[in-house]
């Protein structure tokens, strides 16, 4: 009976020891994984997140080493089953890139994200009348190819803004020299490149008026001229 009790105690002690060993091993593995993750730097994304007027070519590279890069464009968290980065990513619409770095045998980095807003410029306004000198009063129409664009203009040569005159119809030109400038802006677009044209309106001088009508006379006539 004494021997049986001894065997039971030894068995219990053995179970306890094995349990402690397993627990220690698990903690060690957990700590190693945490240390490994801490050592993996998040990948670098360029250009920086922000608003751009043209499509962007986005590059992702490891902060150090030769870690593999995985990314998503749909807002989901990337993993090793996500698309693997191998070449610059063309961004032409509003998108968010999320990426991770995965080095060999050492877990993965934290997720890094960059959001891009692409707002192409509104088309440049077009004038119906080319720059030049004209001998009669002119009216200039302004059009824009971007649907829904609002046009703003000035006639004194200053740079127009969205606080300038809003175009609603043909702009009449005054006698003399003047510069017409215009910009356009549409929803979802950035402000257009400015358009400008310089006009000089110089009506011809009125023909002189003879004080004595043309005709046949029997005496000498004094002819007066008026403008």
Query: What was the pLDDT predicted at 5?
Result: 55
> Would you say residue 12 lies in a domain?
no
Q: In terms of domains, do 105 and 158 share one?
A: no
Write out pLDDT tens, residues 116-137.
999 999 999 999 999 999 999 9
> Domain of 90?
44-118
Residue that terminates a domain, selected from 89, 118, 147: 118
Q: Please tell me whether the overall predicted TM-score, pTM, comes out greater than 0.85 for this model.
A: no
- Which residues of the chain carry a pLDDT beneath 50? 4, 16-17, 20, 23, 25, 28-31
In terms of Cα–Cα distance, which of 142, 143, 123 is closest to 192? 123
Q: Of the residues 118, 141, 174, which one is the last residue of a structural domain?
A: 118
Domain C-terminal end among 118, 151, 166:
118
Q: What is the pLDDT of residue 25?
A: 46
> Do the beta carbons of residue 144 and residue 160 sit within 8 Å?
no
């Amino acid at each position: 009976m004494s021997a049986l009790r001894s065997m039971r105690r030894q068995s219990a002690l053995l179970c306890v020891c094995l349990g402690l060993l397993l627990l220690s091993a698990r903690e060690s593995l957990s700590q190693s994984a945490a240390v490994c993750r801490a050592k993996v730097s998040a990948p670098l994304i360029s250009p920086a997140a922000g608003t751009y007027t043209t499509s962007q070519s986005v590059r992702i590279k490891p902060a150090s080493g030769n870690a593999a890069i995985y990314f998503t464009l749909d807002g989901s968290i990337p993993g090793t089953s996500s698309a693997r980065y191998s070449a610059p990513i063309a961004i032409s619409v509003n998108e968010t890139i999320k990426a991770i770095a995965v080095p060999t045998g050492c877990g993965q980095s934290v997720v890094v994200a960059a959001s891009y807003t692409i707002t192409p410029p509104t088309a440049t306004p077009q004038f119906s009348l080319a720059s030049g000198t004209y001998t009669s009063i002119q009216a200039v129409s302004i059009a824009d190819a971007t649907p829904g664009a609002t046009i703003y203009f000035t006639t004194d040569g200053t740079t127009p803004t969205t606080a300038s005159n809003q175009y609603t119809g043909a702009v009449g030109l005054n006698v003399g020299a003047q510069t017409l400038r215009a910009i356009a802006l549409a929803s979802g677009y950035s402000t257009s490149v400015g358009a400008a044209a310089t006009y000089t309106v110089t009506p011809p001088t009125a023909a002189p008026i003879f004080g004595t009508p043309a005709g046949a006379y029997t005496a000498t006539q004094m002819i007066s001229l008026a403008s």
